[in-house]
A and B are shown apart, each in its own frame.
Chain A
Amino acid sequence: MIRFEHISKIYQVGDDEIRAADDVSFNISKGEFVAIVGQSGSGKSTCMNIIGCLDVPTLGSYYLNGTDVSTMNDNKLAEIRNKTLGFIFQQYNLIPKLTVAENVEMPLLYGGYSNQERRAAALESLRRVGLEHKANSFPPQLSGGQQQRVSIARALVSNPSVILADEPTGALDSRTGREVLEFLQELNSEGNTIVLITHDNSIARKAHRIIRLFDGKIIYDGPADSDQAVVNPDIPHGEHIKKEENNI
């Protein structure tokens, strides 16, 4: 489903070359729940942007559903994003002037669906996250957790092949954060492919597989429950886990 082949993203800053992603290769199959973990500067955001078709790699190829999207232009990428990807952002990224239902409808608006189809799909999607009754409210009237659920509803509405969640709990308190993660697990158990991007090991462990990045390179790719998965190269092993468990 998602195939990274020797992907590199190189930024030119003055005379220096910065390799935000350095020869990254991995496969994600349908139905997987993968967490891409790393500290800031590890290259996880770069990988997320490429997976999300918001950016294209400098070198290497990215196959999404068997098509090479690494050489596509802006408008083609927009179409791919619209049809195959669902985004969940840390800051929810809802448009405050539009109602909840209008926000949820938006991917379908750009997908060329009719008014009735959009409305029906949006309400169905809101029903899945349990916020059907808030359809005509405006995002600022909702709590953070509710707003994140609206954004999940928006990600689900176009029935995407991949749901891409970028620090989905980053702006939430731990309880609502847990709820959101449980919801993602539930979606996964229904067969959705989910890619979670986070810096937080304890959140990453809710996934089934962890891809750990450090300095633009993959340093771990394997099951989430392995001890190796949460080893941070900078911090001694045990201390790191303890610290994050205290946080939760």
Chain B
Amino acid sequence: MEPAIVLNGVCKQFGDNVAVSDLSLEVPRGELFAFLGPNGAGKTTTIKMIAGLLRPNRGEVYVCGHRIGADGLAAKAKLAYVPDLPFIYEKLTGREFLHFVAEMYGLSKKRRDELLERLVNRLDIGEYLDELTDGYSHGMKQRVVLAAALLHEPAVLVIDEPMVGLDPRTVRAVKDLFVEHTRNGGSVFMSTHTLEVAEAVADRIGIIHRSELLALGTLEELRRQAKQQHSLEEIFLQLTEEGDG
């Protein structure tokens, strides 16, 4: 079975500014991958290239064996993308939005209702699902968007800063959902600044700094690379400072 995500020598430039430089990375099926880095390091650009929104200047991106660009629709059918500022149609109710997503991905009504019921309970969104989304708070929107992303059981979930604006109970529910998703064979590619979350749930961690991948591996492997046995926060700070030097 092909890996969930393959980035092969990917480069992306914005004019003279190099956003991502020669990035090669492979995320196997069933892995929760956390992508860390300081602001402006190239995390969101990488994620947008995986989601097919930006085109690499050089290199290739594959999702479940389908090359983004050449076979983009097949790749996108297996992928769900949640940006850092989640989008939701403001003049639809949460339920109408989720039905739209289900139909977009070709779910039968029966399957849609089964999956929806499970997600509504897990994310605790039933109370306001029939209200127009323009009245939702950021956290409420984030939960509905997460439900929409998971509704069609994507093989790959790509998510940018998933925990921003969520209360601790929902953070816990989302972490559990991600872990469950990977246990069922799906993959999660998550960019985050919340290092505790990465430390708690990620199978592997990648650290990008100044457009280059500084470190890649499990938490233990990163500790060995940083030659210290401390928290991910300290490893992150040490590696990025070395990168600056």
Bind each other: no
Write the residues of chain A forming the contact surface with B, with a CB cutoff of 8 angstroms. Answer: none
